[in-house]
Structure 1
């Protein structure tokens, strides 16, 4: 089946937001065996949206629209598709009740325009919005299958995954269900991972291999059709074995979980405690760790040692290491080592990990933007320091530094 993705919203054309929905949907369609041939962005204009729908219907079997399902007058997607289909919009009562209940619970008067979010095309299948108010739609019109999804990713993604994907799968004349396995990697870039597996990706048949990427980590989804989960596992096993043989050292999970969750669970299993000292990451590493349920058990705490006075006063880094002529400086292997070791003394954890570096936008201490040192101290072991040269914006460098620190910690926990 051929698909086209239409993103609706003038804000997309103006560059006010980035169209991440298309990337997600293209990847999900690939996992379903649907080939995305076209992607379109159209503003909140009735005639141009109608033209886009007609063009998409002429060249695709499936048309997936995101955006334009809200309560305002420029949310036109359902109205325009109803005009295209020659049908009327009707109220989806469960969605209307959810909207009314939400406003009542907040003690806020509901304006009439909010009813628009509960409208659906007559004869369509409603797609429930578990994270918002606007109901989605799935409908077949003159042989073309249309899926209407909300624009906000936090609403669009669960709606597609939980409802739209099942509706699309049922259209594909494939009685055998899909089984997927997500492989999560850290410490390796997307391009390097793809290069290592390129021949597998290019010759994929069953299972299919779909790479995914976000800042600091990459993933691969294996998908196959099988009558049972056991059969699916058996079909994926040879590919899994080949992938492990090539890039297994970077594989931290075979389910869709973040690296910090794997680390927290490993610390709990081994009854070890952790503390962190953060300079250039400014608390981001602690935030990632404490975002995991149960992290209060192994994570004792963190110190944001942004200034030299805090590095010296709380963690005992000597002033002559931090400042003065010939001193290594705050951004140095020596400081990273001493910060990590200081955590073991100050907070009494089994493991201490430190991050110090130059996040930018300007150099510091004569050292380049992106230079980062990660220190890792463990009771009874020699302290390790890892040197990173990262690129990107200030925010990207901070996130990449935090993710790199997690990767080094994961490697140590795995080896132990």
Structure 2
């Protein structure tokens, strides 16, 4: 089954909100074994919406709409589709009763426009809205299936996961569902990963291998359609093994988690702790670690020693190390080592990690933008320092440096 997602809302075209609904629905449909071939965004305009519907009907078996089911005059999705199909809008009495009960419980006056949220296209199947008022619609006309979902994600997601999926499964007959596994990588770039796996990617048939990249991390999704999970696992496991034989040292998770969560999990399972000393990253490492729920047991704290004065006063690094003729400087291998060792001792933690370098926009200490040193001090082991030469703007260099530090921590913990 081929699907198209039509997101309705002028605010999407203006960039006022991000279309996260399309991402969520594409993933959910893929898990059902439904292929999304197109995604369309159209504003709150009946003519343009009907034009988008005509185009979608010519290339998709299933058309999903998000948005435009609300009470205001610019909520046009049901009206436009009903006109296109030559059908009336009818009142869904249970939804109307729910709306009236809500206003009555609040002692508020219900304006007539709120009835629009209880309207359905004639002949459609209602999709209950657990977290809102607008009823969803699902119907089949000829060979084309239509599904109308609300725009707010807090309403759309539970509707899709509940009644919408039940209705979609009833359409699929013998179509096999899609099973997937996500491999998360760090310490290797997208191009190097692709080069290592190029023959596997070129020859892929089933399972398929799809790369995804974002700053500092890369992922591969291994997917197959199968009659059951056991059958799918046999195929996926074989592909994962082939990938692991080549680049297994860079796989930090076979799950959709960020590397900071993988690090916290390893710290927790080994009952070890971490402290950080940051300069060029400005506290970003601590921010990512503490974004993981419950990380306070593993992350004891950190310091941002942005200036030489603070490196000296908070970490006790001699000024003769940091500045003056013949000094290694703040941006040096030896300073990174001192920072990691001093913060580890200060916090009495198992690990101390440091970052010092040049994030830009201009060089510092005569050293080029992108030069970063990261140090890892570990209780009972020699301190490691890694030199990085990173590309990108200031924010990119900071993020890549932090992700590199997390990868090195993951290696040490593993």
Give the Cα separation in 2 of the matches to 1:112 and 1:135: 16
CA displacement at 1:95 relative to structure 2: 10
CA apart distance, 1:394: 3.3
For residues 285 and 116 of structure 1, the distance between their equivalents in structure 2, rounded to whole angstroms, comes to 49
Give the distance between the partners of 2:54 and 2:273, measured in 1 at CA: 60
Cα distance in 2, alignment partners of residues 262 and 239 from structure 1: 22
Instruction: Name the SS for the 1:383 alignment partner.
Output: strand
**Unpaired runs of 5+ in structure 1?**
none
Q: Does 2:68 match 1:46?
A: no
Alignment of 1:89-104 (within 5 A): 90-91=91-92
Question: Which residue is 2:268 aligned to?
Answer: 268
- Written as runs of structure 1 = structure 2, the 5 A alignment for 1:304-383 is 304-383=304-383
Q: Match of 1:124? A: 125
Please, which moves more after superposition, 313-322 or 141-150? Answer: 141-150
Residue 291, structure 1, aligned to residue 291, structure 2: yes
1:261-307 residue CA offsets vs partner (Å, 9 max, x unmatched): 22112112212111111223222222222222331222111112223
Alignment of 1:390-405 (within 5 A): 390-405=390-405
SS in 2 for 1:391: coil
**Cα shift at 1:352:** 0.5
Q: TM-score, normalised by structure 2?
A: 0.83
Q: Does 1:59 align with 2:59?
A: yes
Question: Does structure 2 retain, via aligned residues, the 8 Å contact 1:13–1:42?
Answer: yes
CA contact (8 A) 1:360 1:394 kept: yes
RMSD: 3.6
Question: Aligned pair in 2 of structure 1 residues 60, 111: CA closer, same or farther (>3 Å)?
Answer: same
Following superposition, the deviation at residue 101 of structure 1 comes to 6.5
The 1:228–1:301 alpha-carbon spacing in structure 2 relative to 1, beyond 3 Å, is same
State the Cα deviation string for residues 347-396 of structure 1 (Å, max 9, x = none): 11110011223333444334333332221111121211222233334333
How far, CA to CA, are the matches of 1:274 and 1:95 in structure 2?
56
Deviating more after overlay: 116-125 vs 350-359: 116-125
Is contact 1:137-1:147 (8 Å) kept?
A: yes
The more displaced of 261-270 and 112-121 is 112-121
The structure with the larger Rg is: 2
Preserved CA contact (<8 Å) 2:277 2:340: yes
- Divergent runs of 4+, >6 A: 98-105, 107-112
- Shift of the alpha carbon at 1:336? 1.7
TM-score using structure 1 length = 0.83
Cα distance in 1, alignment partners of residues 236 and 115 from structure 2: 46
List aligned pairs for 1:195-344, cutoff 5 A. 195-344=195-344
Q: Which range moves more in the overlay, 358-367 or 265-274?
A: 358-367
Aligned partners of 2:96 and 2:389: how far apart in 1?
A: 50
